[in-house]
Amino acid sequence: MELAPGWETALRWGVVLLVAYLVGSVPVGYSVARWLGRLDIRRYGSGNVGATNVTRVMGARAGALVLAGDVAKGAVAAWVGLRLLGVQGAVAGGLLAVIGHSWPVFLRFSGGKGVATGLGAVAVISVPVAVAMVAIWAGVVLATRYVSLGSIISASTAPVWLWLAFRDWPVVAGGVLMVLIIAWRHQSNVRRLLSGSEHRSY
């Protein structure tokens, strides 16, 4: 039995959103720390499961593995959305992956900050946009030595780049929501930046 076009579209959206959230929820940082160091990364450093904290606690090798895994989560989620629903589906998939990474069902809804996962999604949506964001992040980090500041500023430019690339308001709206989530997850970093107590990268 064939589904009516409306039902087929609704089913595709449901699949994209569910798969993207579950992929985003995969606890890469937690798993790498358990695998390489037999420790619960949530009890060390800042307590975050992202690549930055894993790098500070366990070194560059572990951090690189977490970074690659978190980027891959966003890329896979966006790719599923792109295949099933086009660019808008890719943005929705990336957004749900960021939500899953930030509030993962597998870690009782306590996760990371979504930057690497968001970047992976953007790379599938538009490689030039991803390159521009990485360049901005690198420039800010080199100038200030604050990874968190580079992440916040780089992420905040995503809606502008997406608008220039697609001129599609739903796509831009998805980018704005990603930025808001990432900014929300960086609240403690913002407070430390304002007080001058934020940890520098080098």
- Taking the model in full, what pTM does it have? 0.93
- Grade residue 1 by pLDDT with cuts at 50, 70 and 90: very low
pLDDT tens digits, 59-85 = 999 999 999 999 999 999 999 999 999
In angstroms, rounded to a whole number, what is the distance separating the alpha carbons of residues 201 and 86?
Answer: 38
pLDDT tens digits, 113-166 = 999 999 999 999 999 999 999 999 999 999 999 999 999 999 999 999 999 999
Query: In this structure, what token pair is assigned to residue 157?
Result: 């430019």
Closest-CA residue to 184 (of 120, 114, 116): 114
Domain boundaries, the chain: 5-195
In angstroms, rounded to a whole number, what is the distance separating the alpha carbons of residues 16 and 100?
Answer: 13
Query: What integer pLDDT is reported at residue 202 of this predicted model?
Result: 63
